[in-house]
Structure 1
């Protein structure tokens, strides 16, 4: 038994060492940025590169999140069909009182399922349309020098599920996102990077990502669709 205990202790020590190395290698200080017209101009350059007009004119978006949550979003009517584990909720994003549970295959109450669907949608839609949200209310835009190029720092001061989170958008020469670095509450290391370079052009002409690569694995958005 003592030998097994020693083996477990050694394994735990190795895990702690690996976690410490990962933290040191991946943790970055929060960057200092400058707000103002230059930051807004860079944000507009990014939106132009992504064909913001086509996105704004797209009525329906469909995607999934890691094969677990599925969505059909009517942007015009602000209604989202959220499905997971044989549960289905119709969310009214601008009037939550109208939200309803269509199918309940769990022991949770209707209110609990609506709250869960809302949290899923807030997180999972961000990974689909985050670049298009940079001029919404409660957002600060700053310009940062990163590898001798201008990058766009976005901080969410209010709204959503996790206000206070910040993202540094790394852009190519045209302004199209390549990746972003994250300083967010749910990730203990600052500056973890996620790719934004697996784009598809949808039927409506909008550019949307299909997956993201992170140090901890791939985040797949499934069959992404945008149409009218």
Structure 2
């Protein structure tokens, strides 16, 4: 029996060692340093070109946004006018007040939640919203307070738009380099973010659709072989 247990333990240690080795190899193969951006004024011009391509004017007039994330497990309805978001996941529903989070309401299986559990779930809903909404509206956030815009020369010689968020959201300090078509339409970005240990991972921004109010929004992304669906995206007034 002891020999069997030792054999199992040895196999586990070998597998663990192989996993660590694979992760180290992947890190050194794909990890990229954050590029150094320059030419802030020219970067601003490119940023405005991107906003024109996706119809920022229509976005500014948009009151309601609906989408889902995490394979449909996170669902949202965002009232941008009053700063309220309905966040639904598993058995929870949070009526999230973005302006004053402590005034948010929390429900579990339809029953109201109070106390410390309520506070924890408000934090969870806020983190989900910050992450999942970014995958929907990140291009419209490139002039948010605390952002720095600069130009980066890409491998093909074209100019990429680098955005660094020095404040705001859940993980300030993250940087993204956008790849754009000639008309300013975003096609992908590379990420240098705290929650991903490998810098420079590229995510596509695909299947852009014109919403009923004219704004353009993405409905899917890809990071390598992994697909991220935004669900049934809606934008209306």
User: Which TM bucket (shorter chain)?
Assistant: over 0.9
Residue 47 (str. 1) matches residue 57 (str. 2): no
Shift of 1:95: 2.7
> Which stretches of structure 1, 4 residues or longer, exceed 6 Å deviation after superposition?
none
Q: Contact 2:68–2:230 (CA<8 Å) still a contact in 1?
A: yes
How far apart in 1 are the matches of 2:84 and 2:211? 20
Residue 25 (str. 1) matches residue 29 (str. 2): yes
Q: Contact 1:212–1:220 (CA<8 Å) still a contact in 2?
A: yes
Residue 121 (str. 1) matches residue 126 (str. 2): no
How far apart in 2 are the matches of 1:13 and 1:97? 45
Which stretch has the larger CA shift, 8-17 or 103-112? 103-112
Residue 74 (str. 1) matches residue 83 (str. 2): no
- Identify the residue that residue 112 of structure 1 maps to in structure 2: 120
Q: For structure 1, which runs of at least 5 residues remain unmatched after alignment?
A: none
Give TM-score scaled by structure 2 length.
Answer: 0.90
Q: For structure 2, which runs of at least 5 residues remain unmatched after alignment?
A: none
- Tell me the SS of whatever aligns to 1:109: helix
How far apart in 1 are the matches of 2:21 and 2:103? 50
- Identify the residue that residue 191 of structure 1 maps to in structure 2: 200
Give TM-score scaled by structure 1 length.
Answer: 0.93
Q: 1:146 to 1:8 in 2, by over 3 A?
A: same
Cα RMSD over matched residues?
1.7
How far apart in 1 are the matches of 2:46 and 2:66? 28
Shift of 1:192: 0.6
Q: Contact 1:35–1:140 (CA<8 Å) still a contact in 2?
A: no
Say which of 198, 223, 228 aligns to 1:219. Answer: 228
- Identify the residue that residue 36 of structure 1 maps to in structure 2: 40
How far apart in 1 are the matches of 2:126 and 2:16? 37
- Identify the residue that residue 165 of structure 1 maps to in structure 2: 174
Q: Contact 2:102–2:119 (CA<8 Å) still a contact in 1?
A: no
- Identify the residue that residue 144 of structure 1 maps to in structure 2: 152
Say which of 172, 183, 189 aligns to 1:174. Answer: 183
